Each structure stands twice: as structure tokens, then as C-alpha cells.
Amino acid sequence: MTLDMKLYDRVLSLANALTDAVERDDDRAFSKQYAELETLCAEAQTAGTAHPFYLESLGDFTLDDEDAIDIYEQALELADKLEQSDCRASIQLAIAERYRDLDDLDAALAYAAQAERSLAHDDDPALKEELATFLRDLKQA
């Protein structure tokens, strides 16, 4: 599947705007940008132009951990469907982080292990380091 670069750029722009809103502690701007990102993801899904990156981005800014996990799971399913294996590790790590936040350390470790297996076939040193740090911190908890 070819990534729609116009949509990708819009999602990336919204992600940056959401990050800025968080840094400014601007709940109103955050809510507005989040709603727009949610709408873009739903429209992409309906149009058949969805990509795991879009859903992962939505999950990243979802405030409720359980809701975020549901979105990340959808992103994993889409990654499998579209054979986008390069997305899997970062999504699995995001799920692991949310489970850690929910104090479900067994699930966090299970998803981190999945991310580790996914990364075995990927050359992303930054993500590998992030995962190693997460696992080290998790095992010390």
C-alpha cells in the first residue's frame, strides 16, 4: 500500500500541534486537534486509505490508557493486513507502555517481548534503545 503523503503530512502536523498543546497545557487546543485527528483516522478508514501510522498517532494522544490500547490493537491488525511489519514494534512498545501505566506488568512485558521479536528483523537503533530502556526499567519495577 502506498502511503497518502498529503494525509500523512496532515496527521504529522496534527501530532505536532497536539504536542505543542500539551506543552502549553492548552486543553482546548488539544481537544480540538485530537477531534480532528480522530476524524481524519475515521475518514481514512472509510476511504480505504488507512495506515497504521495514523492509528498509532491517534493512540499516542488518547488520554485513556484502555482506549489507547484498543486503538493500538486496531493499528496492529491493520499493519498485519497491509503487511506493514515495520510498524509493529513501535505499536507493540506503545501498548507495553500503556499496560505499564495500568500496572499490568505481565501484559507490559508480553508486549515488550513481542516488540523485541519484531525488532529482530528491523534496523531501527533508536527504537531498539527505547525498548531496551523500557525493559530495563520494567524489570526494576
Q: What is the pTM of this model?
A: 0.93
pLDDT tens track for 126-139: 999 999 999 999 88
Structural domains of the chain sorted by starting position, each given as residue range(s) with its CATH number in brackets: 5-140 (1.25.40.10)
pLDDT at 1 over 70: no
3-state secondary structure the chain: CCCCHHHHHHHHHHHHHHHHHHHHCCHHHHHHHHHHHHHHHHHHHHHCCCCHHHHHHHHHCCCCHHHHHHHHHHHHHHHHHCCCHHHHHHHHHHHHHHHHHCCCHHHHHHHHHHHHHHHCCCCCHHHHHHHHHHHHHHHHC
Q: Average pLDDT in the 41-49 region?
A: 93
Please state the rounded mean pLDDT for residues 32-56.
95
